A and B are shown apart, each in its own frame.
Chain A
């Protein structure tokens, strides 16, 4: 509990520092929202030109797009601290974190609350709102809970991926850019129905990095395209990835050899 309160105070400090230039921040958030909005309009235009993709209409694709964008934006806000982790290790600053009576993972995560992602969050929410009203879903308490679960699961998944990406810094001196394939590439992949991808992709993104479990599979359940009960429990996979990421980070911390400072 004490650690949590400390974490919140660190986040507060980060927020205050970002709000030092309020005009610049607001402009950037609005611009980010507009630009990601344009991206979606481009996608909409494309789908209009081709009449949907593999049987998925625009509102249905919007459901996928919205859920994964919101999840990613939330994860980006929370876990941006892990971006700078590579330099933390390289400069030997991680030792300072280890000396403090607080979990190092929590310290890294709490170092930044990336407010700029609010622009993307708003855009994802807008797309999701469009999808909920136009995709012809019969809403019930269970379905709403599934959407929330999918978003929470997605956030956990991306946070886990960010942590895993940062953990690589323990062993190579820089974190591998290739992992961006999985995080940013993953978002782009998950925004579209998984059925359009070749078998290898589908396998990787269902079982190895279970993006499908937090976007495609719940979306299928929501749209009534599948009645399997497993689809409703799928978002739990995101939590599993978060746990795996945290465990990986703890493993790296345990075997950490400082580079000195």
Chain B
């Protein structure tokens, strides 16, 4: 088995043990789900004019983003950060593996494992409340594909930002800036289709939409057919760009790295 697959699978299995943290996360995410749904309910009650998302779709959107919330996780990987800060990244560099792919494997597991722990209870709750429906049979394969791509896309961006550690060491700057910028471009606080129309082209151009908004919209049927395929193509394009950029950054960073010994 390739070392990357081994690393991914090992990390995945380790993270599946963090049940208490997952439970706390579920409670928090459900809470925020109720808060945001109340807001959306109040908004739709204030006007009868047609909106880009129907009321039911908006509610389902919020539950889906809460269930898959960790796919929107951004910033700097804390474990890799401490490795770089302590200089222990040198032992990673001694391994006969490509550093970027090694990190990607860990990061993909780091997103997929907690998400899979948390998403099911929240999805079941939303469906039980009648506020969410399963995707149609024709949309299902696209949903699965888009979700998988979203995991990889998020991982590629996460790894790219983490690579900036080679320059800033502490991870404070980028680690805070990127999540803050991305926060509302992910569609977590406000469903993206509901944001002002003049923002939509910008949101579509950014990679963040592909991390959460795209699979959610395909699930809801808001994006279907050719539009869905176009969105998936955008996800693939961003993955390629971010992986290439990440590899370049890691290669440059490793060359200038000074490990303080120890």
Provide the residues of chain B in CB contact with A201, threshold 8 Å.
34-35, 38
- From B6-14, B45-53, B153-161, the one touching the partner chain is B45-53
The CA of A43 and the CA of B35, in the complex, are separated in Å by 15
- Checking A51, A52, A185 against B28 with a beta-carbon cut-off of 8 angstroms, the contacting residue is A185
Provide the residues of chain A in CB contact with B41, threshold 8 Å.
196
Instruction: Write the nearest CB–CB distance from B74 to chain A, whole angstroms.
Output: 13
Given A176-B24, A185-B28, A35–B38 Cβ distance below 8 Å?
Answer: no
Provide the residues of chain B in CB contact with A181, threshold 8 Å.
27-28, 31-32
CB-contacts of B124-177 with A (<8 A): 172-173, 176-177
Provide the residues of chain B in CB contact with A48, threshold 8 Å.
196
A203 interfacial contact with B, CB 8 Å:
no
In the complex, are the beta carbons of A188 and B32 less than 8 A apart?
Answer: yes
- Checking A32, A180, A185, A192 against B39 with a beta-carbon cut-off of 8 angstroms, the contacting residue is A192
The CA of A27 and the CA of B168, in the complex, are separated in Å by 14
Count class of interface residues, chain B: 20 to 34
In the complex, are the beta carbons of B28 and A39 less than 8 A apart?
Answer: no
The CA of A52 and the CA of B47, in the complex, are separated in Å by 9
In the complex, are the beta carbons of A50 and B47 less than 8 A apart?
Answer: yes
Given A27-B173, A31-B177, A45–B196 Cβ distance below 8 Å?
Answer: yes
Interface centre among A24, A49, A176, A201 (most CB of B within 10 A): A49
- From B181-189, B233-241, B245-253, the one touching the partner chain is B181-189
In the complex, are the beta carbons of A188 and B177 less than 8 A apart?
Answer: no
Given A28-B176, A42-B189, A176-B24, A189–B35 Cβ distance below 8 Å?
Answer: yes
Secondary structure class of chain B's binding surface, majority of residues:
helix
The CA of A38 and the CA of B189, in the complex, are separated in Å by 12
Given A31-B180, A178-B27, A53–B196 Cβ distance below 8 Å?
Answer: no
Provide the residues of chain A in CB contact with B181, threshold 8 Å.
31, 35
In the complex, are the beta carbons of B31 and A51 less than 8 A apart?
Answer: no
Provide the residues of chain A in CB contact with B177, threshold 8 Å.
28, 31
Provide the residues of chain A in CB contact with B44, threshold 8 Å.
50
Interface centre among B25, B45, B46, B194 (most CB of A within 10 A): B46
Provide the residues of chain B in CB contact with A35, threshold 8 Å.
180-181, 183
The CA of A31 and the CA of B173, in the complex, are separated in Å by 10
The CA of A50 and the CA of B25, in the complex, are separated in Å by 31
Given A45-B195, A46-B43, A49-B196, A196–B38 Cβ distance below 8 Å?
Answer: yes
In the complex, are the beta carbons of A50 and B180 less than 8 A apart?
Answer: no
The CA of A253 and the CA of B177, in the complex, are separated in Å by 37
In the complex, are the beta carbons of A197 and B183 less than 8 A apart?
Answer: no
Further 5 A-B residue pairs, CB within 8 A, beyond A24-B173, A38-B184, A51-B49: A49-B51, A54-B46, A55-B46, A185-B32, A197-B35
Cross-chain pairs A/B with CB under 8 angstroms, 8 sampled: A28-B172, A35-B180, A39-B184, A46-B194, A53-B42, A53-B46, A181-B28, A201-B35
Residues of B at the A interface (CB closer than 8 Å) are 21, 24-25, 27-28, 31-32, 34-35, 38-39, 41-47, 49, 51, 172-173, 176-177, 180-181, 183-184, 189-190, 194-196, 199
